[in-house]
Amino acid sequence: MTPLRIEYHASTVLEVVKEGMENASNKTSGYNSPAFPAASPPIQSFDATIGTDLLPPSRFSTAVSRFKNDNLEDASQHVDELSIKDTHPTSNSLVTYPAVVPPDSQHLQLYNPSAQAILDGQERQITRITALMDQHFEKLQIEVAKNTTFQKQIHHMQLEMDKKQQQIISMQQQMEEKQKEMIQLQKQTLDRLAIIQNRVQAVLTQTYELHEYPIPRLFIILPKPTRRRDIFGKLFADQFQLFFLCECGKHTMPKGSTDPHEIHLAKHEGYDIAKPREFFEKYGTYILTLMHMFKYGIVAAGVVVPSLDAFKVAEGMNEIQKFLNLTKDTMGVLVDDAISFLEGQQNNSSDGIETTGGTGMDSLEALEGAELRQLESYLTTKDSSRILGNLYRTVTSEGHVKWVCIDHYRENYREKAIQDLRQIIEANEGTFVEEIGRIDVRFYSRTLAKEFYDAMIKARGIQMLEIWLQWDVTMDDLRSFADSVTKASISHLKINGYGWDGPALDVVNRLCRYDPIAQLGSNGRIQSLAFGDFSDFSKRMSNPSMIVGPQLRILKIEESINSDNDYGFLSSILGACRHLTELHLVTNRLKDTVECIVKNLGSLHTVSSTHLGYNCTIDYEPIYQDSGVVKDLTLNLQKSRKVAPASSNRAPATMSEAPPKSHRPGLTVSIKTLVSDDPDLLSFYSNYDWPIEDLHVRDLSKDDLKTLDKLTERSVPKRLFMQSFSPYGRSSDDIQHLERIVERSPVVEAL
């Protein structure tokens, strides 16, 4: 296929002209040839090209003018480059084309109007954008002003926050200090509670034997309701009442029972305190320990004491409710008031206030037997026949004494057995004090006695027995009696053998008839053993039978010790009874008896007192030294006969002239030496270098005064009691002796 072509004609120029707008359009499109660069992109929106927040209006106008000039130069350059060139080689060219691009002036005439139109549209857009920018900048200035105010507010708030932060830091430091103080207080509280618990445990675990435990040991005090007359009357005395506690525990629980028996208030209305100041000085610390136990509770030594929150107020309240408006809430207030009072007393004592007797507020934790026995003297009792606190004394299987209420007593001991025992005792004209478990009875036949033995074993709870067996008792009878005493767990026994000459058929056992009674000392139960009216006691007991157990504390032999054979027997007894605390003997040969005791002091490790019949008492005070225990022996010599009262107008001259002396505060007397007017006793006493605590002087001879003068020079008595001494008919030497005796004594009292 042959393409269409125009033949070449020399010297001929062809001009192609397209009519109308189509020709103009074709001409315009012809400028978009590959030789002409593409047109510039259209002007975009202002937001896309120039950020309103970055270019201010003045700089924006300058940029527009620069944009116009640059476009015009580019357009002229593009027009200058528009041409049609022959790309074929000249050698092969058949036709020469004339130029189809118009001159430059024509190009500019065609391009400039269109470019100007474009630029005019951009100026209007720029003007509109500039106006918008002015509005934006005005709003921006308003926002900037607001932002400045807001920043000032933020700065002010930051300053306030800094102050608050400083306050918080200060509060944190204060809280840390308070926390340290609280930790210290908690530590002190825990230490104090530990001390309280140790004291309470020491009280609860302290055991008493029967002779040391005549009254209950657990008690508290509670404030009494204030009455108007108390303000003008005995305010201190009527502030508090004493209430005993029931010592129930494992020892009162029946076999198989799982319900614990907890210590509670005794069912009694309480006791007024007769001498409150002296009472609190003596027992204050001990009561404070019990009050803490009552408030916080404790479990120790098989005893459960609930805390006050869990305390069973209902127990024992029927009696107490009559005198105190007592509930669980008011109980806590009363206990706290009592504790505050006792702590105040303790603080006063620790500030240097001296006490006039007693053990002091900071030394007594658990009561000794002597302090416990003195407790009753401070209580005002309305019914002397009733036992304190309506409590009953029981003895545990270990031999320890407890005081419990009637409910726990009856729960542990069968009622019918007690009733049967009571009937047997009353039928034989005996007495039965059930509250303390004491029986005094006598029998005239072994049949009645055997019936009593069986009832006593079934009833249990009997601790003290004094019995007379008033028939011809054989050794088998004594064996039967000793067996029943062991089975009934009797702890205090006195057996009277008046008229025991013995039947003729018992001649074989004549020299050892009393052995079953003597052997009771080693049965593990007996704490006190007394032999009353045993004829030929030392002759009817074999020495090997006197084997004494460690629980025996008191031994009493009322048969008079006079013969040489008796002193050999006494030495055997002292050698066997190594754990005694008291020894009671009867003798008419004081010197020989005392010398026998002194020789056996090495065996008496625990004896503190020896009573010699109705004439004297020997007391022992152990003094601990590096070389061992040394016992000072003091003789208490007191005649039992009555002395006629002295005439009021015959007062001793030396007593009236003696300087006034009073009992010194804090002085306690543990050993008393009472010297009678028996010249033999005085001369005997002068042979021993024993200290004198109390000296009682009656009408004495010249030699006695001389002896006393020497004694007081060697050992000054702490207190001197003058009784029935008349200076009339006395020599000057007698008066001088007496004056020296009085002058040496720190305390002189007239009787």
pLDDT in tens, 378-400: 888 766 555 788 888 887 777 67
User: Quick one: residue 704, left, alpha or beta (phi over 0 = left, psi -120 to 50 = alpha)?
Assistant: alpha
Least confident of 109-123, 551-565, 597-611, 670-684: 670-684
Architecture of domain 413-550: Alpha-Beta Horseshoe (3.80)
Q: How far apart are the first and last CA of the chain?
A: 178
Number of H helices, E strands in the chain: 19, 22
**Taking residues 334-343, what's their average pLDDT?**
87
- What pLDDT is stored for residue 282 in this prediction? 87
Q: Are 296 and 201 in contact (CB under 8 A)?
A: no
Q: Dig out the tokens for 646 from the structure.
A: 């002295």
Which helix H or strand E contains 403, and what residues bound it? strand 401-404
Q: Dig out the tokens for 631 from the structure.
A: 């016992």
Is pLDDT above 80 for 4?
Answer: no
Closest CA to 745 of 675, 679, 685, 693: 693
Q: Are 717 and 636 in contact (CB under 8 A)?
A: no
Phi, psi of 645 (to 5 degrees): -65, 145
* Dist CA 665 CA 205 (whole Å): 33
Distance set, CA 433 to CA 59, 379, 389, 453, 461 (Å): 126, 21, 15, 17, 11
Q: Are 562 and 535 in contact (CB under 8 A)?
A: no
- What pLDDT is stored for residue 36 in this prediction? 40
pLDDT tens for 503-547 read: 555 555 666 778 888 888 777 788 888 888 777 777 777 765 566
Q: Dig out the tokens for 497 from the structure.
A: 């053998």
Q: Is the dihedral of CA 533, 535, 536, 538 positive or negative?
A: negative
**Taking residues 464-489, what's their average pLDDT?**
89
- What pLDDT is stored for residue 164 in this prediction? 92
Residue partners of 660: CB distance under 8 A and separation at least 6: none
Is pLDDT above 70 for 58?
Answer: no
Q: For residue 442, list its beta bridge partners.
A: 468
Its pTM surpasses 0.75: no
> Any idea which residue has 């007391």 for tokens?
619
* Dist CA 11 CA 9 (whole Å): 6
* Dist CA 71 CA 65 (whole Å): 10
- What pLDDT is stored for residue 531 in this prediction? 84
603 confidence band (pLDDT: 50, 70, 90): low
- What pLDDT is stored for residue 625 in this prediction? 29
**Taking residues 6-25, what's their average pLDDT?**
58
pLDDT tens for 182-235 read: 888 888 777 777 776 676 666 666 655 555 667 888 899 988 866 544 444 444
Within 10 angstroms of residue 166's Cβ, the number of other Cβ atoms is: 10
Is pLDDT above 90 for 452?
Answer: yes
313 confidence band (pLDDT: 50, 70, 90): very low
Pairing of strands 616-625, 628-637: antiparallel
Closest CA to 267 of 248, 254, 240, 290: 248
pLDDT tens for 61-92 read: 555 455 445 554 554 444 444 444 444 444 44
Within 10 angstroms of residue 749's Cβ, the number of other Cβ atoms is: 16
Domain positions in the chain: 20-172, 206-394, 413-550, 553-643, 650-751
SS3 string, 326-364, reads CCHHHHHHHHHHHHHHHHHHHHHHHCCCCCCCCCCCCCC
Q: For residue 222, list its beta bridge partners.
A: 241
Residue type, 493: L
- What pLDDT is stored for residue 409 in this prediction? 78
Share of the chain above pLDDT 70, in %: 51
- What pLDDT is stored for residue 676 in this prediction? 41
Beta strand ranges found along 470-507 (DSSP E): 492-496
Residue type, 89: P
Percent helix, percent strand, percent coil in the chain, to nearest 5 = 45, 15, 40
Is pLDDT above 70 for 308?
Answer: no
